[in-house]
Amino acid sequence: MRPLLVLALATVLLAQAPQTQQDQKVPDDLPTIKVDVDVVNILASVRDKRNSLVPNLEQKDFIVLEDGKPQPIKYFTRETDLPLTIGLLIDVSGSQANLIQIERDAAAQFFTQVLRKKDEAFLLSFGEEAELLQDYTNSPKLLIAAMRDLRVSSGVGGFGPGPVPTIGQPRGTVLYDAVYLAANEKLKSEVGRKVIVVITDGVDEGSRLPIKEALAEAQKADAVIYSIEYEDPGFYSRGGWGISLGGGAGASALHQLSDDTGGHVYRVDRRNTLDVVFKELQDEMRSQYSIGYTPLNDKKDGGYRKLDVKLANKDLKAQARKGYYAIKPEAR
């Protein structure tokens, strides 16, 4: 089924011909992004015992382990100013119908506040199918305009301007397919910091791909997934389920996607509104550390290597991806 997914997005890419970061002139006052195929790049956030972000650490404060072995850190940067590429994925399945307008308003404010001169973002909705509503842009106005097209998925359309037939099992919320496409077709070829922000109750129904493939593709793209768990408390009970699935199986899936890529799961509730969550997410993305090292194990065998980022100060905890795939450069 994978060629069908990729073909649908390729139609959009050919039609829109997005601007790449190589086409843009980088101002002299911004730090340089170094690209080295032999360097493993890690984005890390650090929190203290009160769960507050710690933004003022130095290279000597970090210890990186690959498969349990300490690795010499080659590059270290505080990520407050380096360019950021964001993919915002919004669930428009039936379970989110009552939340879409709130999502429009909060996401519009988020883009207005978070996007800086060298940042780019794209907008993707997913329900019974996935659809790219806005390709790469630095313009909050274009993103906000695209969010007017957010509507409950009708089961037609596909990932692009033309319909893609539904095949096989019933489809309701293709969360895993959407994450895979965002990572593989949009972020994999980009450089710098890459983030997927997904707003959903976490319940997947009908994806062609399993969660492990979506997660692996995000890891291969060096993308960090931030999940915003947002559910309509009455939806499943109104439908006769009697319980809310978003806080059960959905939450587990979101934690798997975010924890393994070095992201975080934010839950929207009465105290933590979507506006508040977006503000916390903005603060976290601007308080990251970029760590690069050349692995002592230099074999590019495609195998999975476990990563562990620790702090010299035991009272601090790093949030970073749990591993990467040692892929040959020509296979990337």
Domain boundaries of the chain, sorted by first residue: 2-16+81-285, 40-79+300-331
pLDDT-derived band at 59 (thresholds 50, 70, 90) equals very high
Q: Which residues contact 182 (CB under 8 A, 6 or more apart)?
A: 87, 89, 124, 196, 223
Tracing tokens 């404060």 back to the chain, one arrives at: 61
Tens digit of each residue's pLDDT (9 = 90 or more) over 210-250:
999 999 999 999 999 999 999 887 665 555 444 444 445 58
CA distances from 2 to 6, 12, 325, 332 (A): 6, 16, 20, 17
pLDDT-derived band at 160 (thresholds 50, 70, 90) equals very low
- In the CATH scheme, what is the homologous superfamily, with its name and number, of domain 2-16+81-285? von Willebrand factor, type A domain (3.40.50.410)
Residues 274 and 104: beta-carbon distance below 8 Å: no
Q: Name which residue leads in pLDDT, 258 or 109.
A: 258
Tell me the one-letter amino acid at 36.
D
Q: What does the block give as tokens for 30?
A: 């911004």
Q: Name which residue leads in pLDDT, 223 or 166.
A: 223
Tens digit of each residue's pLDDT (9 = 90 or more) over 3-18:
444 444 444 444 444 4
